[in-house]
Amino acid sequence: MEKTNFTKLRPLAWMMLPVMMLFFSSSVLAQPIACNNNVQVSVDPTPDGSCEVALDADMILEGDPAPNTNYLLQVMQGVNILYSGVNVVVFNASSHLGQTLVVKVTNQTSGNSCWGSIKIEDKAAPVCYSGTVTLSCTQDYNNVAFPDADDNCDLFPDVQLTDVNINTANQCTPGSNNG
The stretches in the chain having pLDDT less than 70 are: 1-14, 17, 19-30, 46-49, 168, 170-171, 173-179
Task: Provide the residue ranges of all domains of the chain, joining segments of one domain with +.
Answer: 39-121
> What top-level class would CATH report for the domain 39-121?
mainly beta
Residue ranges in the chain assigned as alpha helix (H):
9-23, 57-60
Residue type, 98: G
The C-alpha atoms of residue 20 and residue 100 are separated, in whole angstroms, by 53
β-bridge pairing 113-121 and 39-42: parallel
Please name which of 83, 100, 103, 99 lies closest in space to residue 91, comparing C-alpha atoms: 83
* pLDDT confidence of residue 16: 73
By the 8 A CB rule, do 119 and 38 touch?
A: yes
pLDDT tens digits along 65-111 = 888 999 999 999 999 999 999 999 999 998 999 999 999 999 999 99
* pLDDT confidence of residue 25: 53
